[in-house]
């Protein structure tokens, strides 16, 4: 089993230095081992795998070999999964546990294929299911192992529902959460609602990562100045993976 990095301590260290984590986002067909190794040489603090379909990962060795490879230097690393039920998310998390420092549940993908199959942003309609998936994995993993989630805004104007959801997810014991600063229907059609990200950040006690409209380090610095979020990862057009059947 690969030596672990404690993600909670990583965020705490950044906070002590009054700065934020520079995170390489989960990008379809980009976030493979070779790409992660490259971005680490440019000061990346934390890297994600690309989004992996949890059901295929559990059922198919071919899918596992295609979607996930690592080495001893590939840390800190979080594996992001798309799952629409607790069994798949827990099983995938248990399988990948020896090789990563945490797992993340994608509840932010707004693409039609994901929504149609109950993945990504479709899960935002059932926060109790998200909480069950996160809570189950949290209870079955060591406390030092990171469990996190990515969500979107539930409204572009009133953040009460989004804050309530984030607090519900925080209560499951997750290490941190990522918020994309748009609603699912908005996709990339409007600028990120930075005021909403700031309001959510002030309403929770765990680290929060901001996502959306971050293309350069200057963008990340500006986001930190405006929201005081604990981490930033860049934006890139998101393409659907080829599913294993």
Cα 159 versus chain centre, distance: 20
Q: Report yes or no: 244 and 223 within 8 Å, Cβ to Cβ.
A: no
Whose tokens are 């908005």? That residue is: 186
Q: Using only the alpha carbons of the chain, give its radius of gyration.
A: 16
- Dihedral sign computed on CA atoms, order 166, 80, 138, 84: positive
Which residues are known to be catalytic? Answer: 109
Tell me the DSSP string of 149-216. Answer: EEEE-S-SS--HHHHHHHHHHHTTT-SEEEEESS-TTTTTSS---HHHHHHHHTT-SS-EEEESS--S
Structure tokens at 53: 């379909």
Angle, CA 228 vertex, CA 152 and CA 47 arms, to 5°: 65
Distance, in Å, from the CA atom of 4 to the CA atom of 47, rounded to the nearest integer, reads 14
Q: How many helices (H) and strands (E) does the chain have?
A: 10, 9
Q: Report yes or no: 190 and 182 within 8 Å, Cβ to Cβ.
A: yes
């Amino acid at each position: 089993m690969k030596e672990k990095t404690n993600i909670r301590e990583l965020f705490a260290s950044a906070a002590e230095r009054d700065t934020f984590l520079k995170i390489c986002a989960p990008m379809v067909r980009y976030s493979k081992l070779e790409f992660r190794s490259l971005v680490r040489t440019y000061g990346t603090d934390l890297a994600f795998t690309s989004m992996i379909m949890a059901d295929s990962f559990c059922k198919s060795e071919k899918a596992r070999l295609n979607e996930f490879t690592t080495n001893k230097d590939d840390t800190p690393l979080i594996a992001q999964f798309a799952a629409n039920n607790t069994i798949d998310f827990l099983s995938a998390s248990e399988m990948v546990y020896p090789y990563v420092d945490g797992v993340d549940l994608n509840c932010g993908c707004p693409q039609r294929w994901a929504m149609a199959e109950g993945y990504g942003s479709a899960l935002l309609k059932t926060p109790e299911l998200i909480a069950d998936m996160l809570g189950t994995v949290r209870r079955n993993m060591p406390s030092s192992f990171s469990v996190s989630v990515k969500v979107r805004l539930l409204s572009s104007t009133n953040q009460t529902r989004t804050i309530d959801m984030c607090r519900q997810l925080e209560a499951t014991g997750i290490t941190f959460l990522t918020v994309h600063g748009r609603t699912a229907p908005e996709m990339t059609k409007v600028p990120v609602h930075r005021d909403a990200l700031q309001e959510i950040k002030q309403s929770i006690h765990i680290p929060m990562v901001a996502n959306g409209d971050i293309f350069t380090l200057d963008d990340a610095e500006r986001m930190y100045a405006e929201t005081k979020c604990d981490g930033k990862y860049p934006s890139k057009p998101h393409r659907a993976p080829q599913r294993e059947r």
